[in-house]
C-alpha cells in the first residue's frame, strides 16, 4: 500500500467519503496511488474495475494487477464484439494474472423483446447501448460501492475535464488515468511488454462493438471511428448515473 493511501481515512461507518474530498486529495496522484487508495477505502469485495479490453485497456489493467490482481474486473460482452476483443480479454487475463474477470451479457429476454431483428444498433444506437451496456453494467455493479474506469482527459469531448474521483449515483467512480498522456500509456505498454489489441495493426485505434466501429486515419482523433457519422460519442455508461 502506498504512502498516499495511508493519508486517506478509511470508509466511514455511515457511508463513503465525499467524492470532492477524495478528488482534491488524489488530484496529482499516480494511477497506482488512485487504485490503491480506492482499495483501502472500499475494500476488494466492494470495488470493481470496468474494462472494455480495448486498444488502451492493457495499461490500466497492468496497473491494477500490480496493486492487486484479485480486484474484480467487469467486462461487458454485448454480443456485438469483435472476436479479436474476446481473444484479447483472454490473453490479458492470463498474462496479467487477473483472477476475477466477470463477463457480463445483456439479458436474452431483453434482447428478444427490444432487438429481435438485431438492427437496433442502426435504428436507435442509444437504445442498443442501453440494453447491451448500460443495463448490464448497472446489474453487474449492484454488489459494489465504487468502480474504476479508464477514461482520459486527452480523449477530449465529454472526457476533457473529468475529475480523478466523482460521484456516480450511490457509488464512487475513480478515473485513475484522468491525468495520463498518450505517451504515458505507450510507456506502460513498452515497459511491461504488453501485447497490443489485435485490431490496432489494422487501423482501429478505438474498438467497441463491430457495427459501430470503423478504422481511423492517422490525422483523425482516436475515437473518430466510434459511431462514425453520428452525433453520438459515448455509449452511455459514463453519462448515466448508476443506481
The torsion angles phi and psi of 165, rounded to 5 degrees, stand at: -135, 135
Nearest to 38 by CA among 67, 61, 59, 78: 67
The reply to whether 235 belongs to the active site is yes
Structural domain includes residue 232:
no
- Strands 165-168, 171-174: pairing is antiparallel
Asked whether residue 14 carries a pLDDT value surpassing 80, the answer given is no
Structural domain includes residue 236:
no
pLDDT of residue 143: 95
Question: Which is higher by pLDDT, 177 or 170?
Answer: 177
Asked whether residue 105 carries a pLDDT value surpassing 60, the answer given is yes
Rounded-to-integer distance, Cα 126 and Cα 212, Å = 11
- Least confident segment among 26-35, 39-48, 70-79, 209-218: 209-218
Pick the catalytic residue from 128, 129, 212, 235.
Answer: 235
Joined grid coordinates for residue 217: 486515419
> Residue 1 — pLDDT band, cuts 50, 70, 90?
very low
> Residue 13 — pLDDT band, cuts 50, 70, 90?
very low
Asked whether residue 145 carries a pLDDT value surpassing 60, the answer given is yes
* CATH number of the CATH domain containing 100: 3.40.50.620
Structural domain includes residue 230:
no
> Residue 37 — pLDDT band, cuts 50, 70, 90?
very high
Number of domains in the chain: 1
Q: Which helix (H) or strand (E) holds 24?
A: helix 19-26
Q: Are 34 and 174 in contact (CB under 8 A)?
A: yes
Rounded-to-integer distance, Cα 56 and Cα 200, Å = 10
The pTM assigned to this predicted structure is 0.87
Structural domain includes residue 187:
yes
53 CB-near residues (< 8 Å, 6+ apart): 61, 75, 85, 88, 89, 92, 197
Structural domain includes residue 4:
no
Question: Which is higher by pLDDT, 238 or 208?
Answer: 208
- Average pLDDT on 22-49 reads 96
Structural domain includes residue 172:
yes
- Domain assignment of residue 160, given as a range: 15-225
Residue 187, CB half-sphere, CA atoms under 13 Å: how many?
5
> Residue 17 — pLDDT band, cuts 50, 70, 90?
confident
Structural domain includes residue 239:
no
Rounded-to-integer distance, Cα 102 and Cα 70, Å = 12
Structural domain includes residue 68:
yes
Amino acid at each position: 500500500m502506498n504512502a498516499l493511501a495511508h493519508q486517506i481515512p478509511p470508509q466511514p461507518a455511515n457511508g463513503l467519503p465525499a467524492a470532492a474530498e477524495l478528488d482534491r486529495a488524489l488530484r496529482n496522484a499516480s494511477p497506482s496511488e488512485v487504485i490503491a487508495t480506492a482499495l483501502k477505502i472500499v475494500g476488494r469485495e466492494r470495488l470493481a474495475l470496468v474494462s472494455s479490453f480495448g486498444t488502451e485497456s492493457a495499461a490500466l489493467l497492468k496497473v491494477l494487477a500490480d496493486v492487486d490482481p484479485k480486484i474484480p474486473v467487469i467486462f461487458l460482452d454485448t454480443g456485438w464484439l469483435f472476436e479479436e476483443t474476446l481473444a484479447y480479454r483472454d490473453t490479458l487475463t492470463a498474462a496479467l494474472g487477473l483472477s476475477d474477470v466477470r463477463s457480463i451479457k445483456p439479458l436474452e429476454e431483453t434482447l428478444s423483446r427490444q432487438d429481435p431483428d438485431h438492427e437496433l444498433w442502426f435504428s436507435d444506437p442509444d437504445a442498443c447501448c442501453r440494453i447491451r451496456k448500460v443495463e448490464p453494467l448497472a446489474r453487474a455493479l449492484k454488489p459494489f460501492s465504487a468502480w474504476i474506469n479508464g477514461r482520459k482527459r486527452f480523449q477530449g469531448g465529454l472526457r476533457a475535464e473529468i475529475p480523478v474521483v466523482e460521484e456516480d449515483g450511490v457509488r464512487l467512480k475513480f478515473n485513475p488515468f484522468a491525468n495520463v498522456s498518450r505517451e504515458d500509456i505507450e510507456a506502460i505498454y513498452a515497459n511491461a511488454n504488453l501485447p497490443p489489441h489485435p485490431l490496432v495493426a489494422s487501423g482501429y485505434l478505438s474498438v467497441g462493438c463491430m457495427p459501430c466501429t470503423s478504422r481511423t486515419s492517422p490525422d483523425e482523433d482516436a475515437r473518430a471511428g466510434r459511431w462514425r457519422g453520428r452525433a453520438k460519442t459515448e455509449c452511455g455508461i459514463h453519462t448515466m448515473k448508476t443506481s
